[in-house]
Amino acid sequence: MQSAGTGNQDMQNSSVRHNQIAAALIGVVKQIKAIKYYPLDHPALKAAAAESLRGFAPVLADESQLALTVRKEGFLLDNGPVAKSNQVLVQLANFCFARRIQHLTFLADLNSADLHHFVHFLLLDPQIIQKQGGFQVILEKARITTIWTNIRDLDEILQRKHTIENLPEEPNFDPAKILNEVKEDTQGDQAEALDLAALVAKLEKEEDDTRFHHLLQELIPLLRLQLIEDRRALVLRALLLLCRCATGKQYSLERRRNAQLAIDQLATDEMANYLVAYLFATASEQGIRDILGKILAFMGDRIGRRLMEMLADERMSGKRKVLGNILVRSGATALPILYEYLADERWYVVRNAVAILGDIRNQEALSHLTPLLQHDEIRVRREAIRALTKISGQRAVNILLQVAVNHDHDTQRQAILSLGAVRATIAVPTLLALLKKSDWSQRAIDLKKDAIRALGEIRDPAATAELVRIVGNKRWLRRKLNDELRIAAATALGDMGEQSTLKVLEKVTHDRTAAVARAAAQAIKQLDKAKP
């Protein structure tokens, strides 16, 4: 058995190692800042790489490699987070993740030159990196063999390292040339952008459906290559055209079908990432955001899963609301994906899916929401009741009635108030039966007050007699609790607008309990407003 002292020592060693790794990665961040500040040939850049290498030295001193998993929310070492509260490292991890780097390995023979070029490549636009075949392809073209991406097997890394290092020597080879080649290749992108603009213009004017279809075949691959920041307006123009053609009744069935097929082919995770980034860009005007939201919603179930993944990872409530609204706009097409997320282990993800189902308001969702009334997390149960209330209808009311009498106290109260909110007349007998129970605990009184409030909102005359009885029922025992019910009943009678209760309320305005008298006076004002 491991002793407590040994365990503490292991924890200390682990903490030291994590701190060393964090320091090394912060050195990479400093390199990025230096590259953004200094000209490409400035000596300060190589000095920054050398300084960064010194940060890696203690990490790699006793190990053959440093293997990190990259997630949007940070770096992981052996499935444990590395300085997860360090926002600088979170941003670096997000930066790498956007370039599709999911695994990052630094070998023990790491050198400053490789670090220098690695960080330069890291600053390339993600779309350009993908066009080159991915980040690892660029590293291998540059013959960088001490840094590897997305290869987990060390034996495979060492084998590929051996292959690269045994390539014929080229005296004039310089990894920086690879960066220049990539940048030169982006000049071709400019020409492609011009081609795309011309192609979109042709599509906008084309009247022949057959030629329109042929032009679409050219558009799809060209559009995929233009998913970069400075092409946003052009991409948006192309997608808007496709959406108009897919839905416009003035177009032929053939054109609508072909435009829809093109949208289906373009509805990828990559497109979702691109459009959502555009949506959240601070420079995007509200009108543009509305259009982007409509396009994303139109793509529906084809990108719904990616939107749900984003929603699960997003920390800012404002952005979560935007993503949720897009899924709501998608309507019934989003339902199958939302149902899948109802079984997620993360309660907040389940809650988000439930909230969206409530806003979609599809009766089909009721059977999927009902089991969640037994969920371990109270916040999920509450959201399920809110969703049932929004969906409404007879089936939803029947479910709420069951919750009102058979569930835990918190959800029971919420269900009772929901029955009032939907003005469920069918609930009146159940609510009246609850009022007649002889239970004077505070929990029971709270339930009764909620039932009284619900009856006031339902406004069924069948409840009037019981509410009048409660208002006039004075007690010496448990007087304070009873007065809470009398106040609630007076308020409910005012909400109901029953003129027949005026005399009773006038009498109660002279009650010795001031709060009861005030409630009755306020109810009379409500009755006056309700007079025809």
Separation between Cα atoms, residue 162 and residue 140, nearest integer Å: 12
- Name which of 118-127, 209-218, 291-300, 352-361 the model is least confident about: 118-127
Task: Look at residue 105 and tell me if it is in a domain.
Answer: yes
Considering the chain, what is the average pLDDT of its residues?
A: 87
The residue range of the domain holding 21 is 4-168
Task: Look at residue 59 and tell me if it is in a domain.
Answer: yes
**Contact, 327 vs 357, CB < 8 A?**
no
What is the tens place of the pLDDT at every residue in 204-248?
A: 998 999 999 999 988 888 888 778 777 888 899 999 999 999 999
Longest alpha-carbon distance in the chain: 106
Tokens 């609508």 belong to residue: 256
Instruction: With H, G, I as helix, E, B as strand and everything else as coil, classify residue 149.
Output: strand
Indicate if the alpha-carbon torsion angle 48, 51, 53, 59 is positive or negative.
negative
Check pLDDT > 60 for residue 2. Answer: no
Q: What angle do CA 317, 322, 326 make, to 5 degrees?
A: 145
Q: What's the confidence (pLDDT) of residue 79? A: 79
Q: What's the confidence (pLDDT) of residue 518? A: 94
Q: How confident is the model at residue 185 (pLDDT cuts 50, 70, 90)?
A: low
What average pLDDT does range 492-520 have in this prediction? 91
Q: What's the confidence (pLDDT) of residue 6? A: 52
Separation between Cα atoms, residue 286 and residue 76, nearest integer Å: 37
Q: What's the confidence (pLDDT) of residue 421? A: 93
**Contact, 240 vs 250, CB < 8 A?**
no
Task: Look at residue 332 and tell me if it is in a domain.
Answer: no
Task: Look at residue 282 and tell me if it is in a domain.
Answer: no
Separation between Cα atoms, residue 243 and residue 291, nearest integer Å: 11
What is the tens place of the pLDDT at every residue in 459-481?
A: 999 999 999 999 988 888 888 99
Q: What's the confidence (pLDDT) of residue 361? A: 94
More confident residue, 520 or 177: 520
How many Cβ atoms from other residues are within 10 Å of residue 315's Cβ? 7
Q: What's the confidence (pLDDT) of residue 528? A: 85
Q: What's the confidence (pLDDT) of residue 347? A: 94
**Contact, 256 vs 216, CB < 8 A?**
no
**Contact, 260 vs 245, CB < 8 A?**
no
Tokens 């994590």 belong to residue: 18
Q: What's the confidence (pLDDT) of residue 124? A: 83
H or E stretch including 240?
helix 232-247
How many Cβ atoms from other residues are within 10 Å of residue 122's Cβ? 20
Q: What's the confidence (pLDDT) of residue 417? A: 94
Q: What's the confidence (pLDDT) of residue 514? A: 93
The radius of gyration computed from the CA coordinates of the chain, to the nearest angstrom, equals: 33
What average pLDDT does range 142-154 have in this prediction? 91
Which phi and psi (to 5°) does residue 74 adopt? Answer: 150, -175
What is the count of structural domains for the chain? 1
What average pLDDT does range 282-301 have in this prediction? 85
Q: What's the confidence (pLDDT) of residue 269? A: 86
Q: What are the C-alpha distances in Å from 115 to residues 43, 122, 372?
A: 15, 10, 51
Render 335-349 in DSSP notation, one character per residue.
HHHHHHHTT-S-HHH
Task: Look at residue 126 and tell me if it is in a domain.
Answer: yes
Separation between Cα atoms, residue 45 and residue 33, nearest integer Å: 10
Check pLDDT > 60 for residue 186. Answer: no
What average pLDDT does range 455-462 have in this prediction? 94
Task: Look at residue 63 and tell me if it is in a domain.
Answer: yes
Alpha helices per DSSP H over 436-513: 442-458, 464-472, 479-496, 502-508
Separation between Cα atoms, residue 225 and residue 132, nearest integer Å: 11
Check pLDDT > 90 for residue 194. Answer: no
What average pLDDT does range 75-88 have in this prediction? 84
Check pLDDT > 80 for residue 172. Answer: no
Q: What's the confidence (pLDDT) of residue 365? A: 95
Task: Look at residue 117 and tell me if it is in a domain.
Answer: yes
Separation between Cα atoms, residue 231 and residue 218, nearest integer Å: 17
Which one, of 347, 277, 271, 339, lies nearest residue 312 by Cα?
Answer: 347
Check pLDDT > 80 for residue 407. Answer: no
What average pLDDT does range 364-380 have in this prediction? 94
Q: What are the C-alpha distances in Å from 305 to residues 339, 416, 508?
A: 11, 34, 59
Local structure of residue 404 (DSSP, 8 states): H
What is the tens place of the pLDDT at every residue in 85-142?
A: 788 888 888 888 888 899 999 999 999 999 999 988 888 877 778 777 888 988 988 8
**Contact, 362 vs 387, CB < 8 A?**
no
What is the tens place of the pLDDT at every residue in 39-74?
A: 777 888 888 899 999 999 999 988 889 999 998 888
Percent of the chain with pLDDT over 90: 52
Local structure of residue 373 (DSSP, 8 states): G
Task: Look at residue 48 and tell me if it is in a domain.
Answer: yes
Separation between Cα atoms, residue 137 and residue 424, nearest integer Å: 64
Residue type, 342: L
Instruction: With H, G, I as helix, E, B as strand and everything else as coil, classify residue 407.
Output: coil
Q: What's the confidence (pLDDT) of residue 198? A: 87
Check pLDDT > 60 for residue 393. Answer: yes
Q: What's the confidence (pLDDT) of residue 9? A: 56
Q: What's the confidence (pLDDT) of residue 286? A: 85
